Amino acid sequence: MALLEVKKLGISFGGLRAVDDFTMTIEKGDLYGLIGPNGAGKTTVFNMLTGVYKPTDGSIWLDGENITGRSNIEINKAGIARTFQNIRLFSNLSVLDNVKAGLSNHYTYSTATGVLRLPKYFRIEKEMNERAMELLKPFELEADANVLASNLPYGKQRKLEIARALATQPKLLLLDEPAAGMNPKETAGLMNTILTVRDDFGVTILLIEHDMSLVSGICEKLSVLNFGQLLCQGPTGQVLSDPEVIKAYLGE
């Protein structure tokens, strides 16, 4: 069974058909890319997959379960986590606490346990700290654990967002332009990190990206959106050499 099945997905904003008749299948373990020109509807697809927008048409299936129309929180619990095109971190919290915020879904104690500092509180806090430090490792952020998120350089903030999303233990991780604003060296490092995350955490990844070195370097399959419609889909090499894709998207 596929991990994610998107069937004839569509959404309209007033008169604008932002995404139309979009179908895509992602298998467990895929590193899959969603590409297309500015305004093509890529982020809108992520917003529908994560329950930020309710689709006007079509359906979304995760691990055989119909999650169409569920709330953002329910979909995260079902196993989809994401990062945002514009970084969204808790800027006044430390790097470690940002990751712990992601972990908190999985560790709970009663208010009384927290207020009274009962033994369970200390045990859970210790476990969460250890787990959060582990999640910082692949992103080389351990040394920054106590730094305020807002004081991190931009490239590290983007990595922290991925670590925080991973903390929710998703089956499917959605990355919206993870390399945006990064220099070529940072992008190359990020590519390795994304591959490591997929392999070591056993997570399936769907990413939106404009950086073609990243897309062709790590994505195994691609879907191309153009004006809200699917233009082409398949193995990366095949898609990137498709004349329609070159004409519409690469344009050069």
Residues lying near Mg ion in the complex (CB under 5 A): 42-43, 85
Contacting range for ligand ATP; rule: CB under 6 A; set: 41-49, 113-121, 190-198, 244-252: 41-49
Tell me: does residue 223 bind ligand ATP (CB under 6 A). Answer: no
- Bridge partners of 95, per DSSP, are none
10's contact among ligand ATP, Mg ion, none, with CB below 5 to 8 A by partner kind, is none
How many Cα atoms sit within 13 Å of 125 on the Cβ side? Answer: 9
Q: Which of 6, 42, 97, 156 binds ligand ATP (CB under 6 A)?
A: 42
Q: How far apart are the C-alpha atoms of 188 and 200, rounded to whole Å?
A: 18
3-state secondary structure of 46: helix
- Is 195 exposed, middle or buried (CB count within 10 Å of its CB: 0-12, 13-18, 19+)? middle
Q: Which of 10, 32, 33, 43 binds ligand ATP (CB under 6 A)?
A: 43
Contacts of 119 (CB under 8 A, 6+ apart): none
Q: Which is nearer to Mg ion, 97 or 177 (CB)?
A: 177
CB of 204 vs ligand ATP, minimal distance in Å? 20
Tokens (6 digits) for 198:
């997929």
Q: Which is nearer to ligand ATP, 19 or 124 (CB)?
A: 19
36's contact among Mg ion, ligand ATP, none, with CB below 5 to 8 A by partner kind, is ligand ATP
Tell me: does residue 41 bind ligand ATP (CB under 6 A). Answer: yes
Contacting range for ligand ATP; rule: CB under 6 A; set: 25-33, 40-48, 164-172, 242-250: 40-48
Q: How far apart are the C-alpha atoms of 252 and 249, rounded to whole Å?
A: 9
How many Cα atoms sit within 13 Å of 174 on the Cβ side? Answer: 22
3-state secondary structure of 127: helix
Interacting positions 82-141 with ligand ATP (CB under 6 A): 85
Q: Residue 96: which region, alpha, beta or left (left: phi > 0; alpha: psi -120 to 50)? A: alpha
Tell me: does residue 50 bind ligand ATP (CB under 6 A). Answer: no
Binding site for ligand ATP (CB under 6 A): 13, 16, 18, 36, 38-44, 85
